[in-house]
Each structure stands twice: as C-alpha cells, then as structure tokens.
Structure 1
Amino acid sequence: MNAQRGKRGGRLERLAQRAAKPAVDPCPPGQVGGAYKPLTEAEIQRIYNTALDLLENLGMGEVPPRLQADLLAAGARDNGAGRLLFPPSLVAAAVDQAAKTFTLHGRDPARSIEVGGNRVYFGTGGAAVQTLDMESRAYRSSTLQDLHDFTRLQDVLANVSWFTRCCVATDVPDNFDLDVNTVYALLKNTSKPTATSFTLAEHVAPIVEMLDIAAGGPGEFARRPFLKAHISPVISPLRYGEDAVDVVYECIRHNIPISCITAAQAGATAPATLAGFLAQSLAETLASLVMVHAISPGFPMIFSNWPLVIDLRTGAFSGGSGETAVLNAASAQLSNWLGLPSGVACSMTDAKAIDAQYGMEKGLTSLTAALAGGNLIYESSGMTASLLGASFEAFVLDDEMHSHSYRALRGIEVSEENLGYAAICEAVLGDGHFLGGQHTYAAMERDYFYPSLADRDQPRTWAEKGAQDAWGVANIRARQILKDHHPEYLTPEQDREIRARFRIL
C-alpha cells in the first residue's frame, strides 16, 4: 500500500512538473540565424555589382533640392538629365560608416533589443484597413479602438519583440489626428520598442513633444528614443519621394531611428526575374542608405529591403508565396553580407480565414526569413489577407509559431552531457526506458517547447473537449487577454498633459 501511494505521488509530481512553466525558456527571441543561404558568394557579388552599376550609371531621379545639395556634397554626380549618379566609392563609404548595431529601446529597459549581427527578432508592421472581427468572423473597417486593443494584446506576447501599428484607424479622417492618436495608442498600451509612420514631416515635431511627456520632460525622448519611424523614401523604380524624404530629415533632426523601406513589386515596379529584382531592390535600399549618410553619417537605420511579389496572372499582391520566402531570405543574406542591420517582411499570408492556407504560408515564409538571419522580421505577427487585414486570433497563434521558429534556430547543442552516454547505459542495463530519468527531466526543462494553443491530445480527448479548431482556441485566448490586460503605461499626470495639448480621440 505504501509503495502504491509513493508511486501515485510520484506521478502527480511529474504531471505538475509538466504543467509548470519551464525554468529556462527553451526558445527565447534573439536566436542566431543565417544557416540558410539561398545565394552563393559569387551570386551575392554579382547582384551587388549590378546594384552598383545601376547606381553609378542610372542613379536616382526626382531628387528633392535639399537632398540633392547634400548628396552632391557627399560625392554624388549630376548627369545633367535630372538624375544623380552615385559612384561606388560613395556607396562604399555609406556602408562603411553605417551603424552596424544599435539598440531599439523599450520604455521598459528590460524590453529593449539590440539590432544587427546575426540575431533574429519577430515583430509587426502593416497598415491593415480591415480587422477580422472576433464576433462575426467577418472583415470590417479597422478602428482606433482596434489599434488600442491590438497594442495591449501584443503587450503580453513574448515573441513580438517590437510593435509597429498594425492597422490604420479608418474612423480618424484627419491625418494629423491619425498620426497623433496612433502614437498615443502605443504610449498608453505597451512598454516595448515601438514604431509608427508620419504622414507629413510637419507632424514629427509635435509628436516628439508628446513622446517627451511620456519620457519625462523636454528633450528626454531624444536621449533614449523608444520609437522608430517607418519611411519609404524611395519609389520604385529608382527615384525618391519628396514627402518621405522630408520625413527622413525631420526624424534625423529629432533623433528618431528610421527603417528605410524599399517595397518594390516583382513584375510591376521591379524585374520579374528574381535575380534582377534583387539587384534593383538592393540598389534602391542602398540609395536610402546613401541619403542617410549624406544627411548624418552613421545615423541608426534599419536596412529594410522588402521584396514583394505579385501574382503575374492577376496583379494581386502575393504575400504567402514561395517566391516571397526565397526573395526575403536572399534579401536578409545580402544585408548581412554587407554587415547592415537587416529588415525583411514575411508571414504575410494571403489567407482571409485562420485556416490551413494561413498556417502553411505563415510557417513557410517566416521560418525561411529567420533561418536566413533577418534581424527584424516585419509583418510577422497578426497580418492576414495580403496585409489588408489584421486579426486578434492571428496574433496569439503567430506568437506560438515564433516559439517553434526560435526553437528551430536554436538548433542542437552537442555536449558530453547531451550525448547521454551514461543515461543510455543506465536505461539499457536498468528499466529499459528513459521515462522518469534525471537526464530526461533535465532535457524536458531545457530543450523542449510545449505549446499552449496547438492541440496534441488523442482524437477522443480532443472531441470530448469540444473539438475546437485553432481559430476557436485562439479566439478564447485573445478574448481572455483583452479582458484581463489593461495596462496604463502613462501616469495620470502624463495623460492629462497630453490630452491638454493634443486632440486624443
């Protein structure tokens, strides 16, 4: 009887141990990427040389006067036909003097991340104009309330390492009010590193005043900037966009780190051939880097070369394709080869529902980009419907998917202890199995990720629990988070001061 009681107690102890959170996270953000190399060294060199040829011989068109003066002073040449040409020496100087690593600060210092090198982080991006409603499971126009809800939802998701507003509040028609209220939603609901976009350059300075209030006083934000700007200063093919260039100048003036995004589309604004696409897209992202170099050498910039693909039969954007996967992986490889902090865009499923297409496309594209070593993988959380949609359920499902990706990146640690020679001998000469052994318990805590959403039950048990699909399980989890998590990252005094100076809706 005593032996039976002891055996039962041991089983209960093991069950409790399995249910508990691991003592060591087996797959934290920031795992090392770069093992997947879709391009050979010779192919990288040919693509880079073609990009240099494009910049030296074609250069950039529609250069705003202020930028033209700065580029000429830095070593660009005017071809006399409305284009500025960038000699290879100028490009090399921009790459050489670029910020290779820098910190993306969170308002909570513990949530800051170091960008660059070979570390991989998943985060968000996007400007979804539709939200997948949790009640009706139908798409509707995104609202400011959705943005607040998305921001506080992701605040508890460990694998979303920074948060860029994922949707556009379509119920805020005024552009200044939209920019202000977008940043306010970030300040109120998360202490992670954040990012936003500015519609016009004149919106930057007043929003920095709001950021200063949250940071503790005038000038405090610039000392430790916890928000970066997403800007697309290059319009494909090979010309600058004046409004976006103006935003770049203002962000640099206020010490706002920038992600300069090139988002060409294969077969539309860039060649349909993958190699030709990569050459043009690389040239355009280098043109952004040369621009920043001419304004302020070494200013923190994410080299965000985002190859986008369209379905050449219909012209529809194709975010979940194999071509998207390999192009963004190659982009990450090229950026890392240059030693620049890389940004790519993956996990942009074309699926509208949380279904098999959704899971296949997200898993394929996000893991490929991670294996290639993309430092910041944008659009990787919450996005659906070819970036037109955002989903609460998708956020929690993607967060769990990222854990699996990080576990794959972590790889296999080969050590004397892990090889388990003694444990194998003990099992063979003893009980004949490894269940309950200390070697197994140690690995269970250290080496394995246990999902909380993915179902691993037997079919009968799954049916007895209600036969929920992933969408249903994620809906329950998202609802629970939104019910329980109401952060207040602004003090009442800060909130009053912001509301006294801005129209907070």
Structure 2
Amino acid sequence: MAGQPGTRSGRRERLAQRAAKPKFNPCPPGQIGGAYKPLTEAEIQRIYGAALDLLERLGMGEVPERLHADLLAIGAKDDGFGRVLLSPALVEKAVDQAARTFVLHGRDESRSIEVGGNRVHFGTGGAAVQTLDLDSGHYRPSTLEDLHDFTRLQDVLTNVSWFTRCCVATDVPDRFDLDANTVYALLKNTTRPTATSFTLAEHLEPIVQMPDIAAGGPGEFAKRPFMKAHISPVVSPMRFGEDAVDVVYECIKHNIPISCITAAQAGATAPATLAGFLAQSLAETRASLVMVHAIQPGFPTVFSNWPLVSDLRTGAFSGGSGEAAVLNAASAQLSNWLGLPSGVACSMTDAKAIDAQHGMEKGITSLAAALAGGNLIYESSGMTASLLGVSFEAFVLDDEMHSHTYRALRGVEVNEETLGIDAIRDAVLGEGHFLGGRHTFAAMERDTSTRRLLIGTSRASGLNGARMTPGHGHVFGRGRFYAIITLPT
C-alpha cells in the first residue's frame, strides 16, 4: 500500500509526458532522397550528351559584353554570328570546380542548413500577386503587410527550411523600394536562412547595408551570408538576360550565394517533349554554371532547372500536372548525377481553393521531387492558383504535408529494437495486444511523425484573430477555415 501513491504519481508523470508535444521532430528536414530515379543511366547519358551538343554547336546568344569577355578568357568561342560556344571540356571543367555543398546560414546559426549531397529541404518561393484573404475568403492583391505576415508565419512552421518571398508587395510600385522592403521584411521577421531577388544590380550596394547592420556592422554579412539571391540569368531558349547577369556579378562581389534559375515552359520556350525539355534545360543550367565559373570558380550556387509545363490545348500553365512531377524529379536526378546542388520547383497546384485538387497536386509533385533527391524544393509552401496566389491556410497544410514526406523519405529502420521480437512474444503470451507496452510507447516517441494539427471549419466568433505565440496551441485563421496548431518554443 505504501508504494501505491508513488506508483500513481509515476503513471501521472508518464501520461503528462505523452500528452505534451514531442521533445524532438522524429523526421526533421534534411532527410535523404534519391530512391526515385525516373531516368535510367543510359537516358541520363543521352540527355547530358544532347545538352553538351547544344552548348557546343548552338551556344548561347545575347551575351552581355562583360560576360562575353570573361567567357572567351576561359576558352569559350565566338561563332561570329552573335553566339558564344561552350565546349564539352569547358563545361566539364566548370562542373569539376563547382561547389558541391555549402552552408546556407540562418541568422540563428542553429537553423542553418547544408545544401547539396542527398539531403532534401522544403522551402518557399514564388512571386504571387494575389493573397487568399482570411476574412473574405477571396483573392485580393498581395501587400507588404502580407509579406510580413507570411514571413512571421513560416518562422514557426517546423518543416520549412528557408524562406523566400512568396508574394510581391503590389502596394510598393517603385522597384528599388520593393527590393529594399522585401529584404527588410525577411530580416525583421525570421532568423531562418532567407532568399530574395534584386531587380537591378545597382540595388545591391545600398540594400546590402541592411543585412550588414543585422550581422553587426559593415562587411559582417559577407563573412557569414544568411541570405541568398534568386536570379534567372538565362532566358529560354538559350540566351542570357543582361540585367540578371549584372545582378550575378554584383552578388558574387558581395559574397551573396545565388540560385541560378532556369524556368523554361514546355511547348512555349522549350520543347514539348519531356526528353527535349530536359536536354535544353540542362544545357541552360550548365551555361549558368560556366558563367559562374568564369566569374569566380566554385562560388556557392544552386543550379535550379525548374521545368514549367503548359497545357498545349489551352496554353494555360499546369504546375500540378503529372508531367510537372516527373520533369522536376528528373531535373533533380540530373543535377544530383553531376554532383551539383539541385533546386526544383514543386507543389505548384493549379487549384484556386484549398480543396481536394489542391492536396492531390501538391502531394504528388512534392513527393516525387523529394524522392528523387531535390536538395532545395522551392514553391512548396503556400502557393496556389498556378503560382498567382498564396494562402495562409495553405502554408499550415503544406507544413503538415512536408512532415509526412520527410517520414516517407526516412523509410524503415531494421534493427533488433524495431523488429520487436520480445514485444511480440510478450503480447502473445500476455494481454494479447500491444497497447500500453513499452515497445509501443518507445516507438511513439521515436518514430511517429504525426504532429498536433487540427484543420476544421467554424464560424464561431471566438476563433477569429487569435494570436500565435510559441509553445501553445493556437487558432490561426478567421471565418470559415481555421487551423489549430502547436507552435514550437
């Protein structure tokens, strides 16, 4: 009898521990991908050979003067008709000397991630001009306030690894003001790794003073850059864009890691066939690689061949299609085959509402890219309406989707503990079930990815406008749709 109070107390402690949120995420970002290989080795070789042939025989057009001189200095050839030819030897030298991995720092160093290898990270991206309003349930032009709110929201979502602006502040018409205010929103509202874009090269010099201030003074940001730049220096098909190339030079000058994005559209700016698209996209991404190599070999760069798909019957963008899923997976496979940090864009649903189409398209495309080993999967959080829209509710749902994807990537661990032979024997010879067993509770704490997330609908006024603070369950959203989430401390 004397031991009973202690026994009850111990049971209460165990129940309280199990009711509390998990002490760690059993399937955190950075799980290993690469098991899904849509291309065979022979197919990769043919696509790579076609890309090399395009660069050697057709080359790149509209090469800016400064880049033209730098490319010729490392062995490129001018064909005399306005195009610069890149030999296979030059391309392969650039591949050999490229950065294989690099750290994408957070202002909070504990949130930094390593880019490259076979690690998979979901993040954000996009330039939506419409936000799905929480109050009205209708789309409206995105604002600077929305950008601040989206940045604050993602900062507490467990499975987002970095934040790139997901919407354009349409209420800031001046291009310099837009670039500056976007950087400020990122600095003010998150300590995660971030990314932004710069409209013109001359914007960088004054704007970089802000991350310098955040880092502790002039020149400090360059020592440990916690923001990268998204740039599209190649304009499909097979030519450079002068303004974007100028931004590349300026980013390298300020030691800002870059993501060189090629975003061709099948049937419009690239072949409609999947193989042809991959050959051209790979050629264009390798042209970006040679450009970086000509400026500063080995500079930290993500090579992002983003396949965009059109419905050829209507001309409409089709970001949630099966073709988008397999093309992005194949693009990741090609970059990983070369050993280069890969970036793809998935979860670009064409659905305007948060509905079954939304979930299906996002789930299929993002899982395919993750299984193929895309290092950085852009556009994967919050985007709707073929990238024209972004949604607060979708951010929360997508974060949950990412947790399940990471669990799928983690796979099945087979060892003495997980085989559970003793647990099977104890259940068979004992109570006949596994409920309440030590083995079951250990697995729940160690392996279960399910987080305390409730999605529902209500019109109760008590749900409207609740504040989000770390460490507690809170209501997020207003009106008909809401999400109750347990935010990390």
- Structure 2 length as normaliser, TM-score? 0.92
How much is the aligned-residue C-alpha RMSD, in angstroms? 2.2
Describe the SS at the equivalent of 2:208.
helix
CA drift of 1:313 comes to: 1.1
| SS class of match (1:359) | helix
Paired residue for 1:408?
408
Q: Does 1:199 align with 2:191?
A: no
Closer, same or farther: CA 17–478 of 1 in aligned 2, 3 Å: farther
Deviation at 1:25, TM superposition (A): 1.8
Matching of residues 122-161 of structure 1 within 5 Å: 122-161=122-161
Kindly state the Cα deviation for residue 451 of structure 1 after the two structures are TM-superposed: 3.1
Partner of 2:185 in structure 1? 185
Whole-angstrom distance in 2 between the partners of 1:440 and 1:329: 36
SS of the residue aligned with 1:276? helix
8 A contact 1:393–1:478 mirrored in 2:
no
**Counterpart residue number, 1:329:** 329
Residue identity matched to 1:125:
G
- Which residue identity is paired with 2:244? A
Given that 1:153 and 1:478 are in contact with CA atoms closer than 8 Å, whether structure 2 keeps it comes out as: no
1:36-185 matched pairs, under 5 angstroms? 36-185=36-185
Deviation by residue 1:436-489 (Cα, 9 ceiling, x = unmatched)? 11111111111112232356xxxxxxxxxxxx35xx69x999954x5447xxxx
Q: Provide Cα deviations, 1:86-139, integer angstroms capped at 9, x if missing partner.
A: 000000011000000000000000010000000000000000000000001100
Cα distance in 2, alignment partners of residues 477 and 309 from structure 1: 39
Q: SS at the partner of 1:269?
A: coil
Q: Are 1:218 and 2:218 matched, yes or no?
A: yes
- As a proportion of its length, which structure holds more helix? 1
Is 1:250 equivalent to 2:250 in the alignment?
yes
Q: Which residue of 2 aligns with 1:282?
A: 282
User: Residues 451 and 285 (structure 1 numbering): CA distance in 2 closer, same or farther, change over 3 Å?
Assistant: same
Question: Equivalent residues in 2 for 1:264-283 (5 A)?
Answer: 264-283=264-283
Counterpart residue type for residue 179 of structure 1 = D
| SS of match in other structure, 1:36 | coil
CA distance in 2, matches of 1:134, 1:405: 27
Q: How far 1:422 moved relative to its partner?
A: 1.2
CA contact (8 A) 2:38 2:330 kept: yes
Structure 2 gaps, min length 5: 471-489
Structure 1 runs not aligned, ≥5 long? 456-467, 486-505
Cα shift readout 1:27-60 (whole Å, capped 9, x = no counterpart) = 1110000000000011001000000000000000
2:17 pairs with 1:21? no
TM-score between the two structures when normalised by the length of structure 1: 0.89
- CA distance in 1 between counterparts of 2:450 and 2:463 reads 16
Superposed displacement of residue 12, structure 1: 6.2
Q: Deviations over 1:384-409 (max 9, x none)?
A: 11000111111111111110000000
Paired residues in the alignment total 469
In the alignment, structure 1 residue 316 sits paired with structure 2 residue 321: no
User: How far apart are 1:14 and its partner, in Å?
Assistant: 6.2
**Contact 2:21/2:452, CA 8 A, preserved across alignment:** no
- The farther-off stretch of 13-22 and 408-417 is 13-22
- Output the amino acid matched with 1:28: P
Distance 2:39 2:50 in 1: 15
Mark the CA change 1:166 to 1:476 in structure 2 (over 3 Å): closer, same or farther: farther
Partner of 2:372: 372
Per-residue displacement from partner, 1:163-196 (whole Å, max 9, x unpaired)?
0011000000110011000000011101110000
Equivalent positions of 1:319-358 (< 5 A) are 319-358=319-358
Q: Which residue number in structure 2 is paired with residue 490 of structure 1?
A: none
